[in-house]
Amino acid sequence: MFGYYYGFDMTYIVLVLPAILLGLWAQMRVQSTYARYSKVRAGRGITADQAARFILDQNGLRDVPIRRISGSLTDHYDPRERVVRLSDSVYGSSSIAAIGVAAHEVGHAVQHAEGYAPMKLRSAIVSVTNIGSTLSIPLVLLGLMLNFSGLAMLGVALFGLVAFFQLVTLPVEFNASRRALVTLESRDILSGEEMKGAKSVLTAAALTYVAALVQSLAQLLRLMILVGGRRRDD
């Protein structure tokens, strides 16, 4: 179906390149959306770290600390150390964008405390996924170079773990955003109009995870086609 055409790898052009462009678009959208709503201050004047602390305490997670880290949009929840880390652009900011991001990360802390199944599965496979991400492409290339289809297929299988990890990540991220929006509204942290801005920020962020899954699936299909085609030629 695909192959090389006048020296061009058509599997890359048809499958991977559009997925990469989708990822770039998603990144630009989240950056622009965050920049837009980072200029809109919450009416209550509460800062993102204060909102995060409040939501954690309301969920009985007073032992989960909030730490400031460098960078912009480097926010995350670390399940190993049970700590919420907020970036310089979020921590201390009273913008609705920052509050939305902080509430999202707290959503992950609540997931962890409740034993949310998709998050437990993602945590369980993260180590083997890292191995697959590192070794998959080299094994495929080495297998193709040595004409060793078994080695190449092993590389494809390892990359399949990467795609599976991205798939499992979707419900984890979507659920954290849903928890964040419900909490922000029910606890009256943000008003109706402010909620629309927070939802726009979290929706744009969610698109980056969708794009990451699409990229992984496109690359996986490409590898399957390349290895499968080599096996048929043998």
Q: List, by residue number, the catalytic residues.
A: 105
Domain span at residue 196 reads 4-233
> Mean pLDDT per 10-residue run, the chain (234 residues)?
50 87 95 95 95 96 97 93 96 97 97 96 93 92 90 95 96 97 94 94 96 95 84 54
What are the tens digits of pLDDT across the range 123-133? 999 999 999 99
Cα distances (Å, whole numbers) of residue 203 to 30, 66, 161, 198: 8, 24, 26, 9
Q: Contacts by 29-36 with C-beta closer than 8 Å and gap 24+?
A: 29/204, 29/207, 30/73, 30/201, 30/204, 30/205, 30/207, 30/208, 31/73, 33/97, 33/200, 33/201, 33/204, 34/73, 34/97, 34/101, 34/201, 34/204, 36/97, 36/197
Q: How far apart are CA 83 and CA 199, in angstroms?
A: 24
d(CA 214, CA 167): 9
Q: Which of 35, 19, 13, 67 is nearest to 204 (CA)?
A: 35
Neighbouring CB atoms inside 10 A of 5's CB total 9
pLDDT given at position 230: 64
pLDDT attached to residue 134 = 93
pLDDT at 182 (0 to 100) = 95
- As a whole number of angstroms, the distance between CA 85 and CA 98 comes to 13
Q: How much is the pLDDT for 232? A: 55
Q: Are 156 and 140 in contact (CB under 8 A)?
A: yes
- 185 CB-near residues (< 8 Å, 6+ apart): 195
Res 233: pLDDT: 53
Asked if 84 and 105 touch (Cβ cutoff 8 Å), the reply is yes
> How many structural domains are present in the chain?
1
For residue range 23-43, list pLDDT tens digits in order. Answer: 999 999 999 999 999 999 999
Q: Structure pTM?
A: 0.88
Residue 12 has a pLDDT of: 80
What was the pLDDT predicted at 86?
97
pLDDT in the model for residue 76? 96
